[in-house]
Amino acid sequence: MDADAAIIYPFLSLGHELGTGEDEFGWLRRSDDAILNPAELMARLRTDGYIYLPGFHDRAKVEEVRMTILRQLDGMGYLKKMTRLDEGVFDPENPPPAQARAHPLDQRDAALRELLFGGRTMGFYERLFGGAAAHFDFTWFRTKGTGHGSDVHCDVVYMGRGSRNLLTMWTPLGDIDPRMGGLTILEGSHLKGHLLGNYLERDVDTYCTNRGDADAHASGAKGWNGSLSKNPEAVRQRFESRWLTSPEFRMGDALIFGMSMVHGSLDNQTDRIRLSVDNRYQLASEPIDPRWVGETVVGHGPAAKMGMIC
């Protein structure tokens, strides 16, 4: 960490305090200097495994989406009465689930779709990929109250049935400091897949038909959640790497990374909801994971389950 970064609260991830020594922790490299240079951004994606673009989106448009989501959460009774809507203070008696599966937020909201799939964003991906770009129709909403961030994982296990050149874009829908739970990236982990055994070949919706619990997997009653670990410090040591985050993610920022990047997020130590979305983009000419496209996506539902002998 920079010596001048006088941050006085612990960096918690899944209840573990992350070390902040120079060889344990650092800040993400900014790439807003190269926003108009797709070749350079691609080179950074290859070497760093991510590109962090402060100010990528129009902040006013992000704010509009934030308010749309907060209004929905308020309507569902998750926000604390007598607090300002824009602050997103959740009701401690009724905090929202961390992921929006249990309280479906509007995937079709016009402001959301314009932000994530409109000309500014899709034009960027077209220039980056050097060809027509496509996106998954599904948006992953994160609505995290006080408590743990996301398990350490790579995205490929959830969406690896199409192009492997797929990119995730993580978009904070609020100003998020490390106490509120921003995304964490394990530096250089995209180049060290050999340390992951067969993890990168796995798929959360594929199960073994020759095992006794095959029916439970086929129906979705049983399943693997894709987690690599609940202990970020142990993973860091295995990779001899550093956890990277930002001293403050701001509305308008975007963090883009590939399918084999090991990542997670910090715990939320505040009384406000940490709001963000994550989305996926790829070359339109490459195969796309069918679970995540269409008016109503299949997702990880029963129709996505694939049996194999293993």
Residues in the chain: 310
Closest to ligand AKG by CB, 179 vs 263, is 263
265 contacts ligand AKG (rule: CB under 6 A): yes
Closest to ligand AKG by CB, 141 vs 239, is 141
160 contacts ligand AKG (rule: CB under 6 A): no
Q: Which residues make Cβ contacts (< 8 Å) with residue 83, sequence separation at least 6?
A: 89
Closest to ligand AKG by CB, 150 vs 245, is 150
183 contacts ligand AKG (rule: CB under 6 A): yes
State the minimum distance, in angstroms, from the CB of residue 168 to ligand AKG. 5
- Judged by CB under 6 A, the residue of 150, 206, 245, 268 near ligand AKG is 150
State the minimum distance, in angstroms, from the CB of residue 291 to ligand AKG. 15
Say how many Å lie between the first and final Cα of the chain, rounded: 45
Specify the DSSP element, H or E, that contains 66. Answer: helix 59-75
State the minimum distance, in angstroms, from the CB of residue 308 to ligand AKG. 25
- Judged by CB under 6 A, the residue of 31, 276, 297, 300 near ligand AKG is 276
CA–CA gap between residue 194 and residue 190 (Å, rounded): 10
117 contacts ligand AKG (rule: CB under 6 A): no
CA–CA gap between residue 35 and residue 117 (Å, rounded): 18
Number of residues binding to ligand AKG, judged by CB under 6 A: 11
Tell me the angle at which helices 110-117 and 59-75 cross, rounded to the nearest 10 degrees: 140
155 contacts ligand AKG (rule: CB under 6 A): yes
**Contact mark string toward ligand AKG, 185..224, x via CB under 6 A:** ----------------------------------------
174 contacts ligand AKG (rule: CB under 6 A): no
Closest CA to 134 of 122, 118, 119: 122
142 contacts ligand AKG (rule: CB under 6 A): yes
Strands (E), the chain: 12-13, 16-17, 25-27, 50-53, 133-135, 140-144, 167-172, 183-186, 206-208, 243-245, 254-258, 263-265, 274-283, 306-308
CA torsion through residues 96, 108, 67, 159, sign: positive
CA–CA gap between residue 78 and residue 24 (Å, rounded): 36
CA–CA gap between residue 193 and residue 262 (Å, rounded): 9
Q: How many helices (H) and strands (E) does the chain have?
A: 7, 14
State the minimum distance, in angstroms, from the CB of residue 29 to ligand AKG. 18
AA letter at 25:
F
State the minimum distance, in angstroms, from the CB of residue 214 to ligand AKG. 28
Question: Among all chains, which residue has been given the structure tokens 């995540």?
Answer: 292
**Contact mark string toward ligand AKG, 223..262, x via CB under 6 A:** ----------------------------------------
Question: Site residues (CB under 6 A) for ligand AKG?
Answer: 142, 149-150, 155, 168, 170, 183, 263, 265, 276, 278
